[in-house]
Structure 1
Amino acid sequence: MNESIVQLSIRALLDGRARYVIPMYQRNYAWEEGEISQLIQDVVDTMHHNGASRDYYIGSLVVFRRGKGEDTIFETIDGQQRLTTLSLLAVYLKKLQPEAFTWLSRPTVEFECRPHSGKTFAAIAAATHADDPVERLAPVDMNAEILNGYRLVQKLLPVKLRENGLALDSFLNYLLTHVQIMRVEVPADTDLNHYFEIMNNRGEQLEKHEVLKARLLKALESLPDAKACQSCLHQVWEACANMEKYVQMGFPPVQRDRLFGHHDWSALRVANFDELKVLLQDADKTGEPGIRRRLSEILAEPPEVTNQATRAGDEETPERFNSVITFPHFLLHVLRVETGKKIPLDDKRLLSTFEEFVFRSDDPAGHIKRFVYSLLRCKYLYDHYIIKREFLRGTDGWSLKRLTCNTSDGKTRRSQYVNTFGAEEGDDLINRRILMLLSAFHVSTPTLVYKHWLSAALHYLFMAERIEVGAYLSHLESVARAFVFDRFLAEQPAEYDDMIFQRGGRCQARPASISSEGIRCRLSFGSIENNLVFNYLDYLLWNKRKGEDPQVRDFEFTFRSSVEHHYPRNPLTGLARLEGTVLDSFGNLCLISHSKNSRLSNFTPEGKKEFYAANAPDSIKQYLMMKHVSWNVDTIREHGDAMIDVLMSDLASCDQN
């Protein structure tokens, strides 16, 4: 590749003869104290130890030329974090020694379709000196990450100079004259999509979903309202990409109110891409008229939206919720739900899948617009109706909660997370039933790929005109039944797409179509295809016995991957060996963690009972097995028959629905 490489001093880089735009597909500015401190320290170290006349090469800036002559701007492909930080450093130094920066009339870096970033940068640059607050910047116009970067430059540079005994003018002269950067311009005929995929960003390869975003944005360029559509895609993408955060919190307050309702943020209030595009555009132009305050005042007050738990003094980590899936996998689920087609759920095939089903479709731009709206809607549904792992006050557990806000004091709105269905303290057990079933699904498929249960849940939620708790629970139970009986225990396993999209999650198997010999054979050791067979049985047992036994009531699904023989296959000396068909029968099997399986596998049933007397059981089936006074051939058969009866009784309920 014949790339044009130009060596530039930092002054030449920032003197305004070239403009650098940060395109929408790039990450937001994200450098924090570690990265900014390292950049300053590297310059200081070189100057301090190697002399003030030796050049220091700070790295490269990879760009793509847009336009010609005076209209030339460079699209920043790689190095935007470094470029933005150097620009913030120059703005700060100009406040300290304005006479040395008469050539710097305005920031060189620009932000495409990110008005908050541009306005924040401009406001910082307009301040009269380093200690002045940024005047008259409305909250809606503020980019907290860029402001934080500037504050860190203010904080770190004086400390670094003082620690190394360097004068400000010496550092300033060295930075502008002897710190060099290599600007690498890719040729005009470069396939940017391919380049993005193979290039490194700060030593790390761009992730596939970032490449996909760039391609989606490019595919919208031919539309008459391309900029508005691209801006809409960018905003929705950024709001949805953080799977650990509820989507409402991915939008600024004005947009959040318009999208999800001013009073409680509880409903998505747009029906298609065009409504979404107009709303985001209008909200982006709308500030709070007449309320223009100093940034120092904004920073000195508590945020408008705080979590109720934090307000009450409870300890809470910033990452309160942990998603059961990553964003690239989620994109594939959304495409699958939106199209109803057989979409592979392997993130390694993300780009090729979108190439096949989106970019090669009859109307790629139209499909992308539909997908953007579907992405927002699915993320909203996912946040409110799919489990997460919640970390709060030093504990963690499965959570099924929705985000809302209240104005209990009549003035300030505060975010809070409450049970999606029913009372917050769990008085309404139907929320717990859905949570238990979803967690049973999740732990049965611990890998990130091929979570077909998630597609089944999202498809139902996406298609439902109104989400009613009883109907949602019935659907999830039906899906679990279909997976267990139509696939895992069937002579001819059904395909997932047929079960989810063609049959709407309905189970086709009936007790009359399943022979007693056949189901016992398929429930024996080595024949059970998926742990959902055990976990769905535990869900049924929990639902049946939760009111009778505190041990059952408090049971929680965890990642248990080992099928354990309660009566051991290789017993310790003195214990008789059982005949193979009894030993491997369903009555003698339970699901436990791998570590416990390794530790307890050769223990006698009595030894295992003694161990679990001081430990919570791994499964409800196991708990019921240990309630037997003795464990022998008769009790194994008795327990096995009882467990099969629970499964078959649940299957029989299909005829009654």
Structure 2
Amino acid sequence: MVKVDKKPKTLQVSSLFTNVKYEIPIYQRNYAWEEKQIEQLIEDIHSSKGTYFLGTLIVNQKEADVYEVIDGQQRLTTLYLLEKYLKIDILKGSLYFEAREKSNRTLSIIGTEEINDVLEELQSEELIRGYKIIEGYFLSEKIDPVSFREKLNHVQLIRIQVPKNIDLNHYFEIMNTRGEQLEFHEIVKAKLLSQLSTNEDKKAGSILWDACSNMDSYVQMNFDLNTRRNLFSDDWSGIHSEVYDFDKVRGIIGNGDHVTTGTKTLLEILTDKQPTNKGRGSHMEENERFESIISFPHFILQVNKAISKAEENESMLDDKNFLKSLELNWENEEKSKAFLYNLLKCRVLFDKYILKREFVGDYKETGKWSLQRLESYKDRGYLKPKYVGTFGGEDDTKNKQLRLLQSCLRITYTSPKTMHWISLVLTSLMNDENGNILEILEKYCNHKVRESKYENASGFHFERIVFTYLDYLIYRDGYSYEGKQIIFPLKDDWQFHFRNSIEHFYPQNPIDVDPSTRWNLEDLNGFGNLALITISGNSKFSNLPPNGKVTSYPNIIKQSLKLKIMREMMHINGGVWNQAISDTHKREMFCLLQGGGSNGLF
């Protein structure tokens, strides 16, 4: 009989895989973390001081030193890849997937020379991508692996054993819908509500908070229909003009039909057999259709920064300072009520003017960038929601331009603590909803580009905003070379990808090239020879010559408008890409950046 550890156990991350094995059961999805989650994990560890708790790992003990992972497998797998990159000794087979041979083969050879001996189609693309993201981030951010390994000695996880005879399938389902434990944002909720003097105020505050916390649907849809009619304007697109403070909100919410959700302990979650519903009411389709670009805790920090009208202070958006940053809001009842009202006001503005990912139609699986507002319409006498472009139709020029500009910022500043542009927009809209946020964000990007001192940079020292904002400017204004229009302004449906890898169009280590013809380092690392693409795209390009890249991987070329220009310049010059053409391209791109303000269209 296996002796089961019933008490939560503190584990040191640096020795997480030395003497135990973790099995990822077949019912769990494949490894799916992308750049934003992986980079955030690395950054959290890198910026930590002293002992740092990374969260919990929920397991079911199968044998003496074998644990089935119930919750936390994405983080656990990332830590495994991270330790492989850092060359930390890992017990062979210490992490494995049930009935997934390709994944297990990749885990065993990743980070070693053996990987070159295994065909690419026999490797797990998801795990290889995750490893490349880790490798790329360490290089781009110049993180010292030795000092990072030392930090891992002070990073800990809490391993929790599920209760005996628990229904694991049921548990896994609810952990992925509502199984969130007491976190800082719930503490903030309790602090704010504790300042309210009446039960009616507390109830209304709790309902308002819970409605705002569901970030993956438009906030209007998180209230019952009666409340929605009275709380929002006739078309539901904004808060009613007569609802200007918390007391007005309470008067409306108090007449609604709500079921609030309270914080549950781990045991309550595990033993609760009631059916779950991700949303409120019957709006599962909205929850499945949209995805917010930030979580609710980070939204709270954005609201706090917006109403504080603070300058770009990274500590205000850093969740390590979560409670300290917010504590002024529960000094008294007046401030608590003001924050709760501003939370709702900012949520409405956020949903209307900040882009989301939308999973619908051809983008049901991959998602696309979406900038839409919610409106009501009548169908057989009933009001129903519809989503239209925030500024006119979804293809309206201004809507398309602002959507692209925001996605440029989203893919550049992937860590929530660096997304100051969101609070900048919220502050402006709270003062005047008719403010020109396109102009505000263009000025912000211009400032960031100038601040990067790109004119004196080289190679991997160019900051991502230089590449991404340049692509935005090319999309906005178009581009022609030697009289030929290469990019037409605001013409096609081009979208930003999450890109983090600087690509040398003429490769750093060209294959089968006479050493005397190789480029010098200044030209090789010059801006004219560089583009920003995905890590997987960079891996495929490898050391192919420019013609080989263009011919073999046309879809990767499309990731960057700058790269599309480089391709066309090469074609116009008879298939040649040399130092002179690269230098011409650099000078022209720098001219675009130096004049990259508003083009006065709006």
Q: Above 0.5 in TM-score?
A: yes
State the one-letter code of the partner of 1:434. Answer: L
How far apart, CA to CA, are the structure 2 residues paired with 1:653 and 1:319? 37
Tell me what 1:566 maps to: 505
How far apart, CA to CA, are the structure 1 residues paired with 2:316 and 2:587? 38
Seen in structure 2, the aligned counterparts of structure 1 residues 205 and 404 have a Cα distance that, compared at 3 Å, is closer
Seen in structure 2, the aligned counterparts of structure 1 residues 319 and 364 have a Cα distance that, compared at 3 Å, is same
How big is the shift at 1:545?
2.0
| 1:306/1:414 contact within 8 Å kept | no
Structure 2 counterparts to residues 226-237 of structure 1, below 5 A: 226-237=198-209
| 1:588/1:636 contact within 8 Å kept | yes
| 1:592/1:618 contact within 8 Å kept | yes
Give secondary structure in 2 for the equivalent of 1:216. helix
Match of 1:381 among 349, 361, 368: 349
Seen in structure 2, the aligned counterparts of structure 1 residues 253 and 598 have a Cα distance that, compared at 3 Å, is same
Tell me what 1:480 maps to: 445
Query: Structure 2-normalised TM-score?
Result: 0.60
How far apart, CA to CA, are the structure 1 residues paired with 2:180 and 2:302? 26
Tell me what 2:115 maps to: none
Seen in structure 2, the aligned counterparts of structure 1 residues 278 and 652 have a Cα distance that, compared at 3 Å, is closer
Tell me what 2:384 maps to: 414
How far apart, CA to CA, are the structure 2 residues paired with 1:215 and 1:273? 16
Seen in structure 2, the aligned counterparts of structure 1 residues 616 and 585 have a Cα distance that, compared at 3 Å, is closer
Q: Does 1:531 align with 2:501?
A: no
How far apart, CA to CA, are the structure 2 residues paired with 1:552 and 1:284? 47
Match of 2:191 among 210, 215, 227: 215
Structure 2 counterparts to residues 637-652 of structure 1, below 5 A: 637-651=583-597
Match of 1:541 among 464, 474, 477: 474
Structure 2 counterparts to residues 148-227 of structure 1, below 5 A: 205-220=181-196, 223=197, 226-227=198-199
Deviations 1:443-499 (A, max 9, x none): 0012233211112122211221x325xx222222122112222x223xxxxxxxxxx
Q: Which has the larger radius of gyration?
A: 1
Match of 1:330 among 299, 306, 322: 299
How far apart, CA to CA, are the structure 1 residues paired with 2:555 and 2:502? 21
How far apart, CA to CA, are the structure 1 residues paired with 2:466 and 2:428? 22
How far apart, CA to CA, are the structure 2 residues paired with 1:616 and 1:564? 11
Give secondary structure in 1 for the equivalent of 2:317. coil
Give secondary structure in 2 for the equivalent of 1:650. coil
Structure 2 counterparts to residues 404-553 of structure 1, below 5 A: 404-409=375-380, 411-424=381-394, 426=395, 428-464=396-432, 466-467=433-434, 471-485=436-450, 487-489=451-453, 519-522=454-457, 524-528=458-462, 530-545=463-478, 549=487, 553=492
Tell me what 1:636 maps to: 582
State the one-letter code of the partner of 1:544. Answer: D
Seen in structure 2, the aligned counterparts of structure 1 residues 520 and 345 have a Cα distance that, compared at 3 Å, is same
Seen in structure 2, the aligned counterparts of structure 1 residues 203 and 474 have a Cα distance that, compared at 3 Å, is closer
How far apart, CA to CA, are the structure 1 residues paired with 2:397 and 2:225? 34
Seen in structure 2, the aligned counterparts of structure 1 residues 548 and 407 have a Cα distance that, compared at 3 Å, is farther
How big is the shift at 1:280?
2.1
Deviations 1:521-572 (A, max 9, x none): 13x22332x3111111000001112997579723100101001111111111
How far apart, CA to CA, are the structure 1 residues paired with 2:598 and 2:373? 34
Seen in structure 2, the aligned counterparts of structure 1 residues 350 and 614 have a Cα distance that, compared at 3 Å, is closer
| 2:442/2:598 contact within 8 Å kept | no
Structure 2 counterparts to residues 344-363 of structure 1, below 5 A: 344-355=316-327, 357-359=328-330, 363=331
Q: Does 1:605 align with 2:546?
A: yes
How big is the shift at 1:635?
0.4
Q: Number of aligned pairs?
A: 385
How big is the shift at 1:282?
4.2
State the one-letter code of the partner of 1:419. Answer: G
State the one-letter code of the partner of 1:365. Answer: E
How far apart, CA to CA, are the structure 1 residues paired with 2:495 and 2:323? 37
Tell me what 2:108 maps to: none
Give secondary structure in 2 for the equivalent of 1:418. strand
**Aligned-pair identity (%):** 35
Seen in structure 2, the aligned counterparts of structure 1 residues 394 and 381 have a Cα distance that, compared at 3 Å, is same
Give secondary structure in 2 for the equivalent of 1:526. helix
Seen in structure 2, the aligned counterparts of structure 1 residues 203 and 415 have a Cα distance that, compared at 3 Å, is closer
Seen in structure 2, the aligned counterparts of structure 1 residues 332 and 652 have a Cα distance that, compared at 3 Å, is closer
How far apart, CA to CA, are the structure 2 residues paired with 1:549 and 1:603? 25
How far apart, CA to CA, are the structure 1 residues paired with 2:474 and 2:526? 19
Query: Structure 1-normalised TM-score?
Result: 0.55
State the one-letter code of the partner of 2:326. Answer: F
| 1:520/1:585 contact within 8 Å kept | no
Q: Does 1:277 align with 2:210?
A: no
Deviations 1:280-308 (A, max 9, x none): 224569xxxxxxxxxxxxxxxxxxx999x
How far apart, CA to CA, are the structure 1 residues paired with 2:179 and 2:236? 39
Seen in structure 2, the aligned counterparts of structure 1 residues 334 and 393 have a Cα distance that, compared at 3 Å, is same
| 1:317/1:392 contact within 8 Å kept | no
How big is the shift at 1:256?
0.6
Structure 1 unaligned residues grouped into runs of 5+: 1-33, 35-201, 286-304, 311-315, 490-518
Tell me what 2:82 maps to: none
Seen in structure 2, the aligned counterparts of structure 1 residues 526 and 569 have a Cα distance that, compared at 3 Å, is same
- Supply the RMSD in Å over aligned alpha carbons: 3.0
Deviations 1:156-182 (A, max 9, x none): xxxxxxxxxxxxxxxxxxxxxxxxxxx
| 1:260/1:268 contact within 8 Å kept | yes
| 1:552/1:620 contact within 8 Å kept | no
| 1:258/1:283 contact within 8 Å kept | no
| 2:503/2:533 contact within 8 Å kept | yes
Deviations 1:99-120 (A, max 9, x none): xxxxxxxxxxxxxxxxxxxxxx
State the one-letter code of the partner of 2:308. Answer: T
How big is the shift at 1:619?
0.5
